[in-house]
């Protein structure tokens, strides 16, 4: 088991070294619509992976239809200057109606019809809507948007990394063996502590990057006012717990359908859901906190 973990670490690190700078560029430097497109793409892929895990080979066309519907739904959320909230509600209603009508006339077994419809609607919300709150956060926070996105990513990324290494070093007691046998209580605590420490530290470093900048011909302006310790704790503690639950929730879906990975987006990293399962649960909380506090 330990050899397998060691072999998984190298591709993970290589992929991270390539992906992280690109993601940081998109968040901080690229035009905001680029980040919106990235989120909509993540939403569509995540929705497809969820439905593909649940359906297997039974209903490929339903999987593709649900993923396609996730694009306008997510797009209407990340482009509030083009679409109002009424548009998002209308698109969601239309999408649900389309899915019901589609399976009404294409099901093969009546006893599976409700499963197909339920899985598609769940996949649409789970994969398509929840992660899109990152796009809303990026837009609604204005010039501080990139910092809020990075704050959210830090809560999840540092927790995942801290849990991995803490679990390997000290993990003895299983966290939730029936769902994720490799996770330990010690790892979960380590991820929580490392995540909270990182967010508190970076909250003080963020102001160094505020101001007007230019990079590769792109001009952009950033603003960040350090959060109070109380605000950091209110945001980071529930977000970290939700993120770890999001990881377990996706593991539950995979085990329920006998799937090792949700997909094969990047070697060593599995599918899109395998990479953003924690973000899917953590991002909505951070967005709600921003809306309430700021």
Q: Where are the domains of the chain?
A: 17-140, 143-294
Q: How confident is the model at residue 2 (pLDDT cuts 50, 70, 90)?
A: very low
The percentage of residues in the chain with a pLDDT greater than 90, rounded to a whole number, is 56
Six-digit token pair at 105?
Answer: 């006339």
Coil, strand, or helix at residue 28? helix
The residue ranking higher by pLDDT, 278 or 24, is 278
Q: How far apart are alpha carbons 177 and 4 in whole angstroms?
A: 18
Centroid of chain to Cα 123:
13
Q: What is the pTM of this model?
A: 0.89
Six-digit token pair at 67?
Answer: 């993923």
The percentage of residues in the chain with a pLDDT greater than 70, rounded to a whole number, is 91
Q: How confident is the model at residue 1 (pLDDT cuts 50, 70, 90)?
A: very low
- In sequence order, which residues have a C-beta less than 8 Å from that of residue 135 and are 6 or more positions away? 35, 36, 39, 40, 74, 77, 78
pLDDT at 6 over 50: no
Digit-coded pLDDT (tens) for 168-182: 889 889 999 899 988
Average pLDDT, the chain: 88
Q: At what angle do helices 133-140 and 32-55 cross, to 10 degrees?
A: 170
pLDDT at 44 over 70: yes
The residue ranking higher by pLDDT, 184 or 218, is 184
- Per-residue confidence (pLDDT) for residue 29, from 0 to 100: 86
Digit-coded pLDDT (tens) for 111-168: 888 989 999 999 999 999 999 999 999 988 888 999 999 999 999 999 999 998 999 8
- Per-residue confidence (pLDDT) for residue 8, from 0 to 100: 60
Burial 214-225 (b: 16+ CB within 10 A, else e): eeeeeebebbbe
């Amino acid at each position: 088991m330990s050899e397998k973990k060691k072999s998984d670490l190298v591709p993970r690190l290589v992929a991270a070294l390539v992906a992280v700078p690109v993601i940081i560029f998109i968040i901080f430097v690229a035009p905001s619509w680029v980040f919106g497109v990235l989120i909509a793409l993540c939403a569509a892929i995540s929705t497809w992976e969820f439905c593909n895990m649940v359906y297997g080979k039974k209903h490929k066309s339903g999987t593709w239809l649900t993923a396609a519907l996730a694009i306008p739904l997510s797009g209407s959320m990340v482009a509030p200057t083009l679409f109002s909230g009424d548009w998002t509600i209308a698109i969601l209603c239309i999408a649900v109606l389309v899915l019901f009508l589609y399976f009404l006339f294409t099901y093969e077994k009546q006893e599976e019809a409700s499963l197909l419809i339920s899985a598609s609607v769940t996949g649409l919300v789970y994969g398509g809507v929840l992660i899109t709150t990152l796009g809303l956060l990026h837009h609604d926070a204005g010039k501080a948007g990139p910092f809020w996105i990075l704050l959210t990513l830090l809560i999840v990324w540092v927790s995942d990394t801290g849990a991995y290494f803490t679990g390997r070093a000290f993990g003895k007691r299983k966290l939730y063996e029936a769902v994720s046998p490799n996770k330990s209580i010690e790892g979960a605590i380590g991820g929580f502590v490392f995540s909270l420490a990182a967010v508190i530290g970076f909250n003080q470093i963020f102001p160094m990057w505020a101001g007007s900048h230019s990079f590769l011909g792109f001009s952009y302006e950033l603003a960040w006012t350090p959060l109070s310790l109380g605000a950091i704790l209110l945001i980071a503690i529930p977000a970290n717990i939700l993120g770890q639950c999001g990881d377990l929730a996706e593991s539950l879906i995979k085990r329920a359908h006998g799937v090792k990975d949700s997909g094969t987006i990047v070697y060593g990293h599995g599918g899109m859901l395998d990479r953003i399962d924690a973000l899917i649960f953590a991002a909505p909380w951070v967005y709600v906190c921003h809306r309430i506090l700021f």
